Amino acid sequence: MAISVVGHANPDTDSVTSAIALATLLNAQGMEAKACMQIGAADLNPESKTVLKRFGLAAPEQLMDAAGKKIALVDFSDLAQGPANLASAELVAIVDHHKIGDVTTNNPILFRAEPVGCTGTVLNKMFKEAGVAIPKDVAGGMLAAILSDTVNFKSPTCTEDDKAAVKDLKSVAGVTDTEELFMEMLKAKSAVDGVPAKDLLFRDYKDFDMKGQKVGVGQLELATLDQVANVRQALVEAMEAVKKDGRHSVLLMLTDVVKEGTELVVLSDDPALIEKAFDGKLSGNSMWIPGMMSRKKQTVPNLQKAFGC
């Protein structure tokens, strides 16, 4: 029986291309393996679709149930992120870069996890160690995964190993400009055309309690703020509707991943308090905050401080 290689649910580019890469390596080593993913090709995220198309890679086949199958995992090892019946399937390999999850096995398996920025980085090492040449198209997918997982080397999770892998893979894949590749992926990921403003606001949105006041904070990661120029007014109207529904403030982080900063759009009962929170000055209903990338690590703590939480 062929080994089904599968990444986590709601797959990202690393989960998709690492399944392809590990299946390729296993096949080269005489084991029959096929790449799978926990989603139908049509519903795959726009970034991964772009990557598969660019490098001419076939989408992995859909696998939602592991019952009775031989399984290899990439990019995760938590049962909750796996296909149905993973716990009772025959697990034969894990290649990952996360904390170790809760899968268990009855037999010894190939288990390779490293604290690097991407599974693609680990797989690049495994190909080298095995003396197996990475096919050009597969190298392209692995390269894209590393750029995506490390946010083009800007994530705190990025390591020297990831940078070294990118150097290897770009020459195999024939990619001269990784910036251009990253931008193409980012543009696909942050496409807003045809998406209703309310859906954009709620794409990545959380409510917080600040000393008894309800504060909502949404975030859109963008390649350039120009991407939302045409929907800006509609976004503000969507924020107004959300604010009317019992909120003290509604903030929308328009994060420019390239410039590494955020235009913070603010609707608040107390705009001066928000200005104080970020040591900024609103111009109309927004202000540019250099270096702001993370809601969890930057935006929320500053708000909590200003609200006296």
User: Which residues of the shown chain bind Mg ion in the complex (CB under 5 A)?
Assistant: 12, 14-15, 75, 119, 149
Residue among 94, 51, 58 at smallest CA distance from 76: 94
Rounded Cα gap, residues 238 and 233, in angstroms = 9
Cα torsion angle, 78, 81, 82, 87, sign? positive
Closest residue to Mg ion using C-beta atoms: 14
In angstroms, what is the minimal distance from the CB of 154 to Mg ion?
13
What single-letter amino acid sits at 235? L
Judged by beta carbon, residue 14 or residue 263, the one nearer Mg ion is 14
Judged by beta carbon, residue 14 or residue 161, the one nearer Mg ion is 14
In angstroms, what is the minimal distance from the CB of 22 to Mg ion?
13
Judged by beta carbon, residue 119 or residue 178, the one nearer Mg ion is 119
How many other CB atoms sit within 10 Å of the CB of residue 92?
20
Q: Give long-range contacts, CB 8 A cutoff, 24+ apart: 113-116.
A: 113/77, 114/161, 115/159, 116/159, 116/161, 116/162
The 8-class DSSP code of residue 59 comes to P
Judged by beta carbon, residue 137 or residue 149, the one nearer Mg ion is 149
Planar angle of CA 297, 301, 302, nearest 5 degrees: 115
Q: How many CA atoms lie within 13 A of 152 on its CB side?
A: 15
Judged by beta carbon, residue 149 or residue 162, the one nearer Mg ion is 149
In angstroms, what is the minimal distance from the CB of 256 to Mg ion?
19
DSSP letter string over 207-254?
EEEETTEEEEEEEEEES-GGGGGGGHHHHHHHHHHHHHTT-SEEEEEE
In angstroms, what is the minimal distance from the CB of 45 to Mg ion?
10
253-285 core/surface letters (b: 16 or more CB in 10 A; e: else): bbbbbbeebbbbbbbbeeeebbbebbebebeee
Planar angle of CA 107, 113, 117, nearest 5 degrees: 155
Residue pair 35/59 in contact (Cβ under 8 Å)? The answer is no
Judged by beta carbon, residue 15 or residue 286, the one nearer Mg ion is 15
In angstroms, what is the minimal distance from the CB of 8 to Mg ion?
6
In angstroms, what is the minimal distance from the CB of 98 to Mg ion?
7
Judged by beta carbon, residue 14 or residue 162, the one nearer Mg ion is 14
In angstroms, what is the minimal distance from the CB of 259 to Mg ion?
21
Judged by beta carbon, residue 73 or residue 277, the one nearer Mg ion is 73
Residue pair 130/28 in contact (Cβ under 8 Å)? The answer is yes
In angstroms, what is the minimal distance from the CB of 169 to Mg ion?
15
What single-letter amino acid sits at 159? T
